[in-house]
């Protein structure tokens, strides 16, 4: 029997995008269900009762939660191609360290305060500082995974969809601060698994602009 795969997510969520990229890397088909987070579906509440968050990957009825855990699950289950995690234990530990760093420091849940006027200056400097740390880690490697695209690349590249909005609202230029990281973005965007799934930066900017207007009008 073919696998039944359902991904609960939203079009804009960088965490959903991580899972889409991982599934695309593996060539695995799935059904995507767009969630309305202001009116969560019974399936989301049932499959992620603790955090009630997307993404959730439901594999033959069994839910997997937390985007980086889902990516690792995908890598283990569909291990026939495009490995996303190193097999060497130390390299695996390093990859998990940097994926965690990206999650805590450079993903929209942590960096979105760049958009908030009160916290903008500090948040902007923190965000750029984190990108510079990541740029240092990347060094002269094509990918964070070395010669191949790996879990750290999967973790970080969805944040790129927010860069344009950050630059517009925060009045700074990421390419001026981190040119090598932008080269890495462009390298990742050459991969169909990335270019086909990253939300359009201008669509993200328009969505954030609308959200900001609504919040400021309250």
Applying CB under 6 A, does 66 fall inside the site for ligand GS8? yes
Applying CB under 6 A, does 72 fall inside the site for ligand GS8? no
52 versus 141: smaller Cβ distance to ligand GS8: 52
Applying CB under 6 A, does 55 fall inside the site for ligand GS8? yes
Contact region with ligand GS8 (CB under 6 A), list: 50-58, 113-121, 163-171, 176-184: 50-58
Six-digit token string for 64: 């997997």
Q: Is 97 left (phi over 0), alpha (psi -120 to 50) or beta?
A: alpha
Instruction: Measure the CA–CA gap between 184 and 144, rounded to whole angstroms.
Output: 9
Applying CB under 6 A, does 52 fall inside the site for ligand GS8? yes
First CA to last CA across the chain, in angstroms? 52
Applying CB under 6 A, does 73 fall inside the site for ligand GS8? no
The minimum distance between CB 68 and ligand GS8, in angstroms, equals: 6
- Say if residue 178 is exposed, middle or buried (CB neighbours under 10 Å; 0-12, 13-18, 19+): buried
Interaction site with ligand GS8 (CB under 6 A): 13, 15, 37, 52-55, 66-68, 109
């Amino acid at each position: 029997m073919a696998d039944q795969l359902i991904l609960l997510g939203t079009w804009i969520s960088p965490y959903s995008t991580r899972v889409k990229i991982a599934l695309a890397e593996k060539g695995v088909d799935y059904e995507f269900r767009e969630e309305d987070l202001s009116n969560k579906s019974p399936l989301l509440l049932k499959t992620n009762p603790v955090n009630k968050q997307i993404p959730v990957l439901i594999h033959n009825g069994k839910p997997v939660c937390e985007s980086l855990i889902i990516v690792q699950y995908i890598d283990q289950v569909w291990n026939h191609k495009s490995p996303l995690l190193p097999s060497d234990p130390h390299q695996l530990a390093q990859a998990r360290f940097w994926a965690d760093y990206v999650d805590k420091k450079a993903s929209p849940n942590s960096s979105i305060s760049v958009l908030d006027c009160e916290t903008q200056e500090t948040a902007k400097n923190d965000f750029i500082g984190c990108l510079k740390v990541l740029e240092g880690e990347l060094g002269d490697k094509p990918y964070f995974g070395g010669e191949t695209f790996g879990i750290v690349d999967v973790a970080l590249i969805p944040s790129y969809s927010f860069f344009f909005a950050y630059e517009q609202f925060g009045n700074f230029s990421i390419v001026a601060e981190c040119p090598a990281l932008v080269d890495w973005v462009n390298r990742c965007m050459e991969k169909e698994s990335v270019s086909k799934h990253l939300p359009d930066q201008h669509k993200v900017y328009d969505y954030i602009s609308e959200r900001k207007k609504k919040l400021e009008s309250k």
